[in-house]
Structure 1
Amino acid sequence: MEHESGAVSRAKASLIFSMLMFGTIGIFVRYIPLPSSVIALSRGLIGTAFLAVVILKKGPGISWGAIKRNLRNLCLSGAFIGINWILLFESYHYTTVATATLCYYMAPVFVTLSAPFMFKERLTQKKIFCITGALVGMVLVSGIWNTGISGTGELWGVFYGIGAAVFYASVILLNKKIQGISAYDKTMMQLAASSIVLLPYTVLTEKVSVLSLTPMAVILLAVVGILHTGISYTLYFGSMKNLEAQTIAIFSYIDPIVAILLSALFLKEPFGIRGIAGAIMVLGAALISELPDKS
Structure 2
Amino acid sequence: MLISSLFIVGTIGIFRRYIPLSSALLAFFRGLIGSVSLLAFIKLRRTETWEGMGVKKFAGLIINGAFLGINWILLFEAFNYTTIAKATLCYYMQPTIVLMLSPLVFKEKLTAKKIVCALVALAGMIFVSGVVSMNVVQEEDLKGILFGLGAACFYAMVVILNKKITDVDAYQKTIIQLISAAVVLVPYLVITGQFKAIVFNGRLVLLLLIVGIIHTGVVYALYFGSMSGLKAQTISILSYIDPVVAMIVSALILGERMTLWEIIGAVLIIGSAIVSEQEPKKIRFSTKFRQ
TM range (shorter): 0.7 to 0.9
Aligned to 1:35: 22
Higher percent of residues as helix = 1
Identity %, equivalent residues: 46
The partner residue of 2:261 within 264, 270, 274 is: 274
Whether the 8 Å contact between 1:55 and 1:62 is mirrored in structure 2 is: no
State how many pairs are aligned: 271
After the TM superposition, which of the residue ranges 101-110 and 175-184 deviates more from structure 2? Answer: 101-110
Aligned to 2:136: 148
2: CA distance, partners of 1:223 / 1:18: 13
Whether the 8 Å contact between 1:85 and 1:164 is mirrored in structure 2 is: yes
- How has the CA–CA distance of structure 1 residues 254 and 73 changed in structure 2, closer, same or farther, with 3 Å as cutoff? farther
1:47-85 Cα shifts (integer Å, max 9, x gaps): 111122122223335515047562022111111111223
Aligned residue runs from structure 1 range 82-93, under 5 A? 82-88=69-75
After the TM superposition, which of the residue ranges 140-149 and 222-231 deviates more from structure 2? Answer: 140-149
RMSD after superposition: 3.7
2: CA distance, partners of 1:113 / 1:52: 35
1:82 aligns to what SS in structure 2? helix
- How has the CA–CA distance of structure 1 residues 100 and 270 changed in structure 2, closer, same or farther, with 3 Å as cutoff? closer
Aligned residue runs from structure 1 range 1-295, under 5 A? 14=2, 19-60=6-47, 63-66=50-53, 70-88=57-75, 96=82, 104-145=91-132, 146=134, 148=136, 162-203=149-190, 204=192, 206=194, 207-211=196-200, 213-214=201-202, 216-233=203-220, 255-291=242-278
2: CA distance, partners of 1:291 / 1:29: 33
- How has the CA–CA distance of structure 1 residues 55 and 101 changed in structure 2, closer, same or farther, with 3 Å as cutoff? closer
- In the TM superposition, residue 90 of structure 1 has moved relative to its aligned partner by 6.0
- How has the CA–CA distance of structure 1 residues 223 and 150 changed in structure 2, closer, same or farther, with 3 Å as cutoff? closer
**Which blocks of at least 5 consecutive residues in structure 1 are unaligned?**
1-12
Under a length normalisation based on structure 1, what TM-score does the superposition of the two structures give?
Answer: 0.73
- How has the CA–CA distance of structure 1 residues 58 and 235 changed in structure 2, closer, same or farther, with 3 Å as cutoff? closer
Q: Which amino acid aligns with 1:131?
A: A
- How has the CA–CA distance of structure 1 residues 196 and 292 changed in structure 2, closer, same or farther, with 3 Å as cutoff? closer
2:164 aligns to what SS in structure 1? coil
- In the TM superposition, residue 228 of structure 1 has moved relative to its aligned partner by 1.5
2:185 aligns to what SS in structure 1? helix
